């Protein structure tokens, strides 16, 4: 039954791809998009197989943790429908009568008291909605998340293709086919929702101010914030910057960028002075404490068993809730996120994939820098847009995360933007002229 349902929904979504105007894209046929969708499903199934037959501890597998908790939420619909909808929308669901549900869920509540929003709620709620269609079969959820992720990635491609007409194939590879994007972005995980919300938010921000665009931006911005708040935080300055550029001119691009970064940073770092929102530096410090406790084996899992020490744990500098501490730790944080795991740290197949991908990314960056366009014709507004998002996200991850496996996964939403930034720098004709081998990949 699971196979039949999964195939049925796969065919249904392919039908949607062929019928929706959204998927009518320059340089990307609907046949290619359908192939990418099927490829994503394959990688989603691969992720499921790894965490089902290789890593067999279901209680610690992210693909199952939130899926299993969603059953508790969904089952409330049968006995107390009002409870289900209150928990689904997060309205009036913090009274004692809901404790029965939360006691059965393993990841709805945190193991550590914190003021940080628990973004696990979002993926649990998503899974509870998909259960209306899946009848509890896990891989139906894989098909749904792959389609949502595909929509977001397609939106990213559509955003940048007008400015990279001579690099269509390269853009397809960078957006859709990076190994970690295929792998982590195709499982029943937060990454799929992040790509969906992030892609649509960027695409429709460039099309403001129509009513449709405003509504979509507001909805997906909320989804992104509730899925991974730091990703929303990292992309926000870029969105403000590109919106300003698009609604005015590209003159004084760097001054506009600096003005936005300085202004938003000043407001953000002092937000606790005029609101009840916690200072982000305190939040970062708390997040590092949480992750250190988890990685060091000081917490228990869903079944009250001690969580083992993370196999790829690394030492990172202690982060104090001060700007000085953040700046001091920034070089280490950025290096850890961009370059690690190093070759001598590859201890598992997944780490091997991450390490190999790091080498590939660095080679692409090196080629783009060696064969760079004349500086005067580079679209710097889009380079700054992408690099701002990447740098902020990399720093947040590196400042708080002491586990290489987690770093390799958390940075996935930023990787396409890192390479897109350098794609804007690349002089493709110069590259092909100097290294004819690459001509076989050019149109």
Q: Which residues pair with 28 in a beta bridge?
A: 25
Mean predicted confidence (pLDDT) in 36-52? 95
- What are 363-398's pLDDT values in tens digits? 999 999 999 999 999 999 999 999 999 999 999 999
Residue 75 half-sphere exposure, CB side, CA atoms within 13 Å?
12
Q: Are residues 292 and 390 in the same domain?
A: yes
70-84, 99-113, 302-316, range with greatest mean pLDDT: 70-84
**Whole-prediction pTM:** 0.93
Number of domains the chain contains: 2
Same structural domain for residues 160 and 253?
no
Q: Do residues 158 and 45 share a domain?
A: yes
Same domain membership, residue 412 and residue 346:
yes
Q: Residue 113's pLDDT is what?
A: 46
Could you list the residue range(s) of the whole structural domain that residue 138 is in? 1-227
Could you tell me if 187 and 321 lie in one domain? no
Last residue of a domain, one of 173, 194, 227: 227
Residues 71 and 195 in one domain: yes
What Cα–Cα distance (Å) separates residue 387 from each residue in 116, 181, 346? 26, 18, 27
- Are 259 and 129 within one domain? no
In a domain, 239, yes or no: no
Are residues 437 and 330 part of one domain?
yes
Q: What's the CA gap between 342 and 368, in Å, rounded?
A: 22
The overall average pLDDT reported for the chain is: 90
**290 and 339 both lie in a single domain:** yes
Tokens 């509870």 locate to 128
Collect all residues with Cβ–Cβ distance below 8 Å to 251 and sequence separation of at least 6: none
Contact 292, 318 (CB under 8 A): no
Length of the chain counted residue by residue: 443
pLDDT tens-digit map of 275-293? 888 899 999 999 999 888 8
Question: At residue 115, does pLDDT exceed 60?
Answer: no
Helix 138-160 with 62-79: angle, nearest 10 deg: 110
Percentage above 70 pLDDT, the chain: 94
What average pLDDT does this structure show over 5-17?
96
């Amino acid at each position: 039954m699971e196979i039949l349902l999964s195939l049925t929904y796969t065919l249904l979504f392919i039908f949607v791809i062929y019928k929706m105007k959204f998927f009518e894209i320059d340089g990307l046929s609907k046949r290619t998009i359908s192939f990418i969708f099927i490829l994503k499903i394959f990688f989603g199934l691969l992720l499921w197989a790894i965490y089902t037959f290789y890593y067999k501890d279901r209680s610690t597998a992210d693909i199952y943790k939130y899926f299993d908790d969603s059953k508790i939420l969904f089952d409330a619909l049968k006995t107390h429908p009002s409870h289900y909808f209150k928990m689904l929308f997060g309205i009036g669901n913090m009274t004692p009568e809901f404790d029965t549900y939360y006691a059965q869920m393993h990841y709805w509540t945190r193991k550590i008291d914190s003021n940080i929003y628990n973004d696990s709620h979002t993926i649990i709620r998503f899974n509870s909605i998909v259960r209306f269609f899946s009848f509890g079969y896990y891989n139906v959820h894989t098909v749904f998340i792959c389609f949502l992720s595909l929509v977001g990635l397609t939106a990213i491609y559509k955003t940048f293709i007008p400015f990279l007409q001579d690099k269509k194939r390269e853009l397809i590879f960078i957006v859709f086919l990076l190994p970690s994007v295929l792998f982590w972005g195709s499982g029943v995980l937060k990454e799929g929702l992040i790509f969906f919300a992030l892609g649509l938010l960027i695409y429709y921000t460039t099309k403001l101010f129509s009513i449709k665009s405003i509504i979509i931006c507001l909805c997906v911005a909320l989804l992104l914030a509730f899925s991974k708040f730091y990703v929303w935080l990292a992309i926000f300055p870029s969105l403000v910057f590109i919106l300003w550029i698009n609604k005015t001119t590209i003159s004084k691009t760097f001054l506009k960028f600096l003005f936005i970064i300085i202004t938003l940073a000043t407001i953000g770092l002092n937000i606790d002075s005029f609101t009840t929102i916690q200072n982000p530096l305190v939040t970062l410090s708390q997040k590092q404490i949480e992750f250190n406790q988890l990685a060091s084996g000081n917490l228990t899992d869903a079944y009250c068993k001690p969580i083992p020490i993370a196999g790829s744990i690394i030492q990172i500098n202690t982060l104090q809730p001060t700007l000085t501490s953040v700046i001091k730790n920034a070089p280490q944080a950025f290096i850890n996120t961009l370059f690690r795991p190093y070759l001598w740290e590859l201890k598992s197949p997944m780490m091997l994939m991450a390490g190999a991908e790091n080498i590939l990314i660095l080679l692409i960056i090196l080629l783009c820098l060696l064969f760079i366009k004349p500086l005067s014709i580079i679209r710097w507004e889009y380079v700054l847009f992408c690099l701002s998002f990447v740098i902020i996200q990399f720093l947040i991850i590196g400042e708080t995360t002491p586990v290489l496996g987690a770093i390799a996964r958390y940075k996935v939403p930023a990787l396409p933007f890192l390479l897109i930034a350098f794609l804007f720098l690349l002089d493709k004709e110069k590259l092909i002229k100097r290294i004819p081998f690459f001509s076989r990949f050019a149109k």
